[in-house]
Amino acid sequence: MFDLKAYLKVKQQRINAALEELWHDHESSPTLLVQAMRYSLEAGGKRLRPVLCLCASEVMGASEADVMPAACALELVHTYSLIHDDLPAMDDDDLRRGKPTCHKAFDEATAILAGDALLTAAFEVLAAAGRCRPGSALKWLEVIYLIARGAGYSGMVEGQMMDISSEGKTITLEELERLQRLKTGALIEASVRVGAVLGGGSAQQIAALGAYGRHIGLAFQVADDILNIEGKPEMLGKPVGSDAAHQKATRPSLTGLDQAKARAVQLADKASDALRIFGNKGEPLVALARYVIERNR
């Protein structure tokens, strides 16, 4: 039986080590900006997006070392988004992963700049990887495109804008799913696609992994909606009930808790079905699909 807990532990350790290497030139006297960047990046977290990237590439038989720069870049983008999401102008959260949010630990201006710097650093890492691997430069150009599209106005940022605009309003279930596929799902899907591209997947394989990523991306947000009601603050590292307090549109608020849970299971099942063409090689990704909806934080 596949041991997902052990698999995640090993992957998270390797990702954290690779992220640590990014600051090698700043070890002796890190600036305030670098301190703020590292504070948020090293606060913990599941490292789900880089794990998914590495896992998708493994299905293709790729070397972890060849894909690690993309995995790191994905975590840099994700961390920037969390810093900005926590700001007073957004969700105005005081805690993230059990620690004061970046704007509380430093100040609001430093947090904004730290987020900006992490986003820029992500594309520096990606461009450097392409420069160091001239034989696969076109693949890295495609990776840059996929991450930019998943993170920008066609993906995560547009989803965040829709989320803010929908507060206190009644929206349809279709509108909610589009919002959540963009806000949370787009970067998760991009993470899987990036791994498939760097792994040298065929068009059919990339499409299958893309479908998997699309389903678990939405499942992740549905699970988050449920955790915001049923989760334990000590496990989440932040208070529960904030969605209701901000009058956010969520799956449970539109359909009820039971139907939200059923939808999460349905999405995880669809994700697993998309992996059938990979046979046993897809087992880690199948386990990750279950993890996405069964996690407690």
pLDDT band at 48 (very low <50, low <70, confident <90, very high): very high
> Mind listing the pLDDT tens digit for each residue in 216-237?
999 999 999 999 999 888 778 7
> Mind listing the pLDDT tens digit for each residue in 127-155?
999 998 888 999 999 999 999 999 999 99
Q: Report the pLDDT value the prediction gives residue 133, as an integer from 0 to 100.
A: 86
Query: Which single residue is written with the structure tokens 């829709």?
Result: 162
Q: Report the pLDDT value the prediction gives residue 239, as an integer from 0 to 100.
A: 81
The amino acid that residue 1 corresponds to is M
Q: Inform me whether the pLDDT recorded for 26 exceeds 80.
A: no
Q: Which residues pair with 100 in a beta bridge?
A: 95
What angle do helix axes 203-230 and 186-198 make, rounded to 10 degrees? 150
User: Considering the chain, what is the average pLDDT of its residues?
Assistant: 95
Q: Inform me whether the pLDDT recorded for 101 exceeds 90.
A: yes
Q: Report the pLDDT value the prediction gives residue 24, as an integer from 0 to 100.
A: 80
Helix runs in the chain, H state only? 4-21, 32-41, 48-59, 64-85, 102-105, 108-132, 137-151, 156-165, 173-180, 186-198, 203-230, 233-236, 242-245, 251-255, 257-273, 283-294
How many independent structural domains does the chain possess? 1
Domain that holds residue 227: 4-22+30-294
Q: What CATH number corresponds to the domain at position 65?
A: 1.10.600.10
Residues of the chain with pLDDT > 70: what percent?
100
Maximal C-alpha separation, the chain: 53
Query: Which single residue is written with the structure tokens 């041991």?
Result: 3
> Mind listing the pLDDT tens digit for each residue in 256-289?
999 999 999 999 999 999 999 999 999 999 999 9
pLDDT band at 31 (very low <50, low <70, confident <90, very high): very high
